[in-house]
Amino acid sequence: MTNKSFIKISEEIKQILPSSYAHDYQIILASASPRRKDLLLQIEENIGVEAINYNENNNLVCPLGEVSLALAFSKAKQFIEQVPLLASRFILTADTIVYHTNPEIILGKPKSVIKAKEMLRYHLGKTHTVSSAFVLVDLLKKQIHYASDHCEISFFPENVRLIEIIEEYTRLKPPLGPMDKAGAYGYQEEIIRDNFIKSISGDPTTIIGFPMEKFKRVWIGLG
């Protein structure tokens, strides 16, 4: 996708915005992620959460660095199409992907414990990228604000101890553990930070799943 593509889908979303909305919340977070809600509560208390089952397009024709933003736009459009009454001025969607570039591969949420173990072992001794993006729809002004951010993470090389810790980590259940997280790990969990992470370059909240620093700039700019 190109910037023109994002502008085009922004216009498509504006065409389907309702003419009115309720004032129950300042922001509706259209995501079931507890981590995103916790991050947002740092700057805004009046948040509602309403998630839907999104049809995520895994065949996007765009660079890896733009996939998270393209998915966040897709979620915004689907949410507005499916939720009849929007209960806030702002609708917020977000997406996070984990990818390696050599070779190019996207690692989503693992579908089994076996896949989670495979993903974690694949990260060992390598550097990968986490890309997180958001789309903020302003129902009052009919405007759409968006941004994405990228962070590079290096894991320590494989050793016997890390393989044992992978076994321990994959026994944890959500919201801990790998099963509800892109790339099969949560940076915010001590077991990951203390044992696997060699270095990071970028905003840690981007790894957690929501680029807070970029969102703050947009939110403050809106007054």
Taken in order of first residue, the domains within the chain and their CATH numbers are 3-221 (3.90.950.10)
- Above 70 in pLDDT, residue 161? yes
- Above 80 in pLDDT, residue 156? yes
pLDDT band at 2 (very low <50, low <70, confident <90, very high): low
pLDDT, residue 59, reads 64
Q: What is the mean pLDDT of residues 182-186?
A: 97
- Above 80 in pLDDT, residue 195? yes
In terms of C-beta density within 10 A (0-12 exposed, 13-18 middle, 19 or more buried), how is residue 104 classed?
exposed
pLDDT, residue 91, reads 97
Q: What is the mean pLDDT of residues 154-177?
A: 97
Distances in Å between the Cα of 156 and the Cα atoms of 38, 40, 110, 196, 218 are: 28, 31, 21, 6, 35
Residue 157 preceded by cis peptide, ω within 30: no
pLDDT, residue 169, reads 98
pLDDT, residue 51, reads 87
pLDDT, residue 3, reads 76
Q: What is the mean pLDDT of residues 21-33?
A: 93
Q: Which residues contact 139 (CB under 8 A, 6 or more apart)?
A: 17, 18, 21, 86, 88, 89, 90, 91
Chain-wide mean pLDDT for the chain?
94
Cβ count within 10 A of residue 79: 23
Residue 30 tokens read as 């259209």
pLDDT band at 223 (very low <50, low <70, confident <90, very high): confident
pLDDT band at 48 (very low <50, low <70, confident <90, very high): very high
- Distance separating alpha carbons of residues 44 and 28, to the nearest angstrom: 11
- Above 70 in pLDDT, residue 108? yes
**Catalytic residue IDs:** 95
| DSSP label of 96 | E
pLDDT band at 34 (very low <50, low <70, confident <90, very high): very high
CB 97 within 8 A of CB 74: no
CB 211 within 8 A of CB 134: yes
Instruction: State pTM to two decimals.
Output: 0.93
Q: Which residues contact 65 (CB under 8 A, 6 or more apart)?
A: 129, 131, 148, 150
Give percent above pLDDT 70 in the chain: 97
Q: What is the mean pLDDT of residues 1-9?
A: 81
Element containing residue 76 per DSSP (H, E): helix 67-82
Buried residues in 31-61 as b, exposed as e (16+ CB within 10 A) = bebebbbebbeeeeeebebbeeebeeeeeee
- Distance separating alpha carbons of residues 28 and 66, to the nearest angstrom: 24
pLDDT digits (tens, 9 = 90+) for 50-87: 989 998 765 677 889 999 999 999 999 999 999 988 89
- Above 70 in pLDDT, residue 1? no
- Distance separating alpha carbons of residues 7 and 144, to the nearest angstrom: 9
